[in-house]
Amino acid sequence: MHAPRKKRESLVSFNHYAKIKRILAEYGTDWVIKRIDSPTSAKNFKGETVSFPYYYRIYDRDGKQIKYCKFQQIERLAAILELPVEALPVIS
């Protein structure tokens, strides 16, 4: 039996951040987050498209983008990594 639509969409968002966590585990502390001031959008758990004036991307120590590590909500990333937002390595 399939999960209700709302729950499934919420899991998609959660799974994306969980996937980022798994990817970052392979990098240890050799990564940084950069805020990109360019508009983007994402679907929320209700299936509504939410627009953001910026997004975040994670880079390795050589400055290369880490695949699948683009996201909009830094608070969600901090929560899944079990860190305060202030402890995340955000650069300008």
Q: d(Cα 13, Cα 46) in Å, to the nearest integer?
A: 11
Asked whether residue 3 carries a pLDDT value surpassing 70, the answer given is no
Residues contacting residue 43 through CB under 8 Å, at least 6 positions apart? 9, 12, 13, 49, 50
pLDDT at residue 5 in the model: 43
Q: What is the pLDDT of residues 4-19, one digit of tens each?
A: 444 444 455 568 899 9
pLDDT confidence tier of residue 43, bands split at 50, 70 and 90:
confident
pLDDT confidence tier of residue 30, bands split at 50, 70 and 90:
very high
The 3-class SS string of the chain reads CCCCHHHHHHHHHHHHHHHHHHHHHCCCCCEEEEEECCCEEEECCCCCEEEECCEEEEEECCCCEEEEEEECCHHHHHHHHCCCHHHCCEEC
Q: What is the pLDDT of residues 53-68, one digit of tens each?
A: 999 999 999 999 999 9
